Amino acid sequence: MGKITGFKEFERQLPAKEAPKERLKSYKEFVHAFSEEELNTQAARCMNCGIPFCHSGCPLGNVIPEFNDAVYDGKWEEAFEILSSTNNFPEFTGRICPAPCESACVLGINRSPVTIEEIEKHIAEIAYQKGFAKAKPATVKSGKSVAVVGSGPAGLAAAAQLIKAGHEVTVFERDDKPGGLLRYGIPDFKLDKWVIDRRLELLKQEGVVFRCNAEVGVNVPADELKAFDAIVLAGGSTIPRNLNIPGRELKGVHFAMEFLKQQNKRVGESAYQEEEILATDKNVLVIGGGDTGSDCVGTSNRHGAKTVTQFELMPKPPAQRTPSMPWPTYPMVLKNTTSHEEGCERFWSINTKAFLGDENGRLKGALVVDLEWETDASGRPVKFTEVPGSEREIPCELALLAMGFLHPQHEGLLKQLGVSLDARGNVSAAEGSYQTSVDKVFVAGDMRRGQSLVVWAISEGRECARKVDEFLMGRSVLESKDTIADYAF
C-alpha cells in the first residue's frame, strides 16, 4: 500500500466547487480538479484491506485498492490500465455514479470513506491528458456481426467489449446523436457532452459504427437486424411513471425527461419540435426525490425559476445509517445534491392530490396533503394515512413528474421481435445468460433489470457482451468481472 498510516493521518476531502451563484450562470461542469498533492493524500487514505468490500460494493467489480496504490505512487498508466480492466467509461462513472463502492469502504465503518469516485475521475482525465486513453482496434477479426440497439451506457459498454473481441458492431440510436441517457437525460452541468464525444471518437476509431436517427421498429424494420449474427437490446427503461390525478392534462404538467431532454438539446444545439418547456419566472414543483428530480431542480434554477419546490412521498431519510441499513449495504440516507445547494425547498411525506388550472387550461397550483407513515419492526415505512386538516393549495405554474420509470417501450421493436417480457414489463432474460426467448437476441441494462444505476448498465453491457461472444465463438476472450479481481496487477 502507498502509505500504511495514511488513513489515520488524512481526512476525506472533495474538490472545490464554483459558488452556486456563479455556476447558475451556465450549464458547464463546476467541480474543480484536485491538485497533485491533494490527489496523493486522498489515495493514501486507502487501507488496502485484506478483504476489500469496495469490490463487492461496485457493480463493475473495480479493483480499487490497486488503482489507489498506483495513484499514490504516481503510476498513472498503471492506474488507468487497472481501472480500464473493469470499467470502459471511468470518465462517466467518476462524474455521475452514486458510488456504492464508497458505502462499502471498510474505512467508512467509523470514519469517512475514501474518495473513490473522485480518484476514478482523475485517473481517467489524467489518462486522456497523457495519451494513455486511446483507441485499440482488435488485431484479429471474427467475421461475425452484432447489432446493438441503444447507445446509452449499457449499449456503449456492450459495443466497446464486442469490438474488442473482434466482431463488427453497429449501434442503432433513435436520437440524432449517440449517448442515450448520458446525452439527453443527465444535465450538462453534471456531465459535459464533450466527455461523451471524446469517448465516442475512440469507439469509432476502433471500428464501432453508429447509425443515428434510426429507431428500430419504427423507421428501421426489426427484420433488418436479422442479417446480423447476434442482437443486443439496450434501449433502457423509457416509460415514465405517471401521476393520474385530476388536472394531469393541464398545460404545464410534464414528465421530467421531457423537460431535461429538451434542455440538453438546447445546450447541444440540436433541433426539437416540441413546445418549449421553460421554468423562467415560474413556481416550479418537482414531484420525486431522486436524482432525476434533483436534475430538474438544478435545471429550473438555471432557467431562472421564481421558486423551486421538491416533493417526496416517502418520509425524510435519516442523516446516518440505521440498524436496518448496516455497513456495507448501500444506505438510504438523506442526500443533499449540488442542485439542492443552489436553491430548493424540500418536503417529505407529502402527496399531490390534484393539479389546479385557470380558465385557459394552464396549471396554476396543486392540491397537496401531508402524510403520516406507519413503520414495521425494522423502521421501514409500510403504510400511510393523510394528516387531518393538512390539505392545502400551493402555487405552481410548472410541475415536473420525476417518479421513476416502469419498463421499456413495448410497441415497435420488442413487439416486432416477439421477445418475452417478465411480470414487470421488462425483457425477460436470466441474469448471467442475458439471452432472451428469441434466438440470437440478447438484452442488457435497464431494459432487462429495470430502472437502475449507470454503473449497473455498464456492468450489464460488459457481461452481456461476454455471453454474446461465447454464443458466436463457442468461448469468450472477454474476461468476467468475477475473475479480473483475482489477478495480480
pLDDT tens string 121-180: 999 999 999 999 999 999 999 999 999 999 999 999 999 999 999 999 999 999 999 999
- Does the residue 417 lie in any domain? yes
Residue among 488, 473, 485 at smallest CA distance from 141: 473
Residues 165 and 76 in one domain: no
Show which of 130, 165, 199 is a domain's final residue. Answer: 130
pTM: 0.95
Indicate if 230 and 246 belong to the same structural domain: no
- Does residue 172 sit in the same domain as residue 253? no
Q: How far apart (Å, rounded) are the C-alpha atoms in residues 158 and 462?
A: 5
Report yes or no on 1 lying in a domain.
no
Chain position carrying cell 439527453? 184
**329 and 226 co-located in one domain:** no
Domain presence at residue 222: yes
Number of structural domains found in the chain: 3
Q: Which of 353, 376, 403 is the last residue of a domain?
A: 403
Domain that holds residue 176: 145-238+406-484
CA-based R_g, the chain, Å: 23
**Predicted local distance difference test score (pLDDT) of residue 442:** 98
Of the chain, the end-to-end C-alpha distance in Å amounts to 13
Work out the number of other CB atoms within 10 angstroms of the CB of residue 323: 7
Question: Cell 416509460 identifies what position?
Answer: 239
Residue where the block lists cell 436470466: 430
pLDDT, one tens digit for every residue, the chain (489 residues): 678 999 999 999 999 999 999 999 999 999 999 999 999 999 999 999 989 999 999 999 999 999 999 999 999 999 999 999 999 999 999 999 999 999 999 999 999 999 999 999 999 999 999 999 999 999 999 999 999 999 999 999 999 999 999 999 999 999 999 999 999 999 999 999 999 999 999 999 999 999 999 999 999 999 999 999 999 999 999 999 999 999 999 999 999 999 999 999 999 999 998 999 999 999 999 999 999 999 999 999 999 999 999 999 999 999 999 888 999 999 999 999 999 999 999 999 999 999 999 999 999 999 999 999 999 988 889 999 999 999 999 999 999 999 999 999 999 999 999 999 999 999 999 878 999 999 999 999 999 999 999 999 999 999 999 999 999 999 999 988 776 655 544
With respect to residue 138, please indicate whether it lies within any of the assigned structural domains: no
Query: Does residue 489 belong to any structural domain of this protein?
Result: no
DSSP 361: S
Judged by DSSP in three states, 363 sits in strand
Residue 342 CA to residue 286 CA, distance in Å, equals 15
Tell me, yes or no, whether 199 and 307 share the same domain. Answer: no
CATH of the domain at 200: 3.50.50.60
Q: Are residue 286 and residue 346 in the same domain, yes or no?
A: yes
- What is the C-alpha separation between 136 and 156, in angstroms, rounded? 16
**Residue of 153, 167, 188 lying closest to 263 (CA atoms):** 188
Mark whether 375 and 446 lie in a shared domain: no
**What pLDDT is recorded for position 378?**
80
Is 268 found in the same domain as 365?
yes
The rounded distance, in Å, linking the Cα atoms of 437 and 451 is 21
In a domain, 135, yes or no: no
Q: Which of these three, 371, 387, 403, is where a domain ends?
A: 403
Sign of the torsion angle spanned by Cα atoms 98, 103, 107, 113: positive
Q: How far apart are CA 444 and CA 439, in angstroms?
A: 15
C-alpha closest to that of 35 among 8, 61, 6, 15: 15
Q: Residue 488: what pLDDT?
A: 44
Say if residue 197 is in the same domain as residue 65.
Answer: no
**Residues 404-463 pLDDT 10s:** 999 999 999 999 999 999 999 999 998 789 999 999 999 999 999 999 999 999 999 999
Q: Can you spell out the DSSP letters for 267-313?
A: HTT----SPP---TTSEEEEE--SHHHHHHHHHHHHHT-SEEEEEES
- The reply to whether 20 and 64 lie within a common domain is yes
Same domain as 417, residue 330: no
Query: Domain check: are 399 and 254 in the same one?
Result: yes
Please give the helix or strand (H or E) that residue 354 lies within, else none. Answer: strand 350-357
pLDDT at 421: 98
Task: CATH number of the domain at 17, please.
Answer: 1.10.1060.10
Distance CA 292, CA 286 (A): 10
Residue type, 100: P
Task: Let me know if residue 329 belongs to a domain.
Answer: yes
Per-residue pLDDT, 479: 85
State how far the Cα of 185 lies from the Cα of 457, in Å rounded to an integer: 14
Could you identify the residue written with the cell 466482431?
Answer: 167
Kind of pairing between the strands at 307-312 and 345-348 = parallel
Listed in sequence order, the residues at least 6 apart from 21 whose beta carbon sits closer than 8 Å to its beta carbon are none
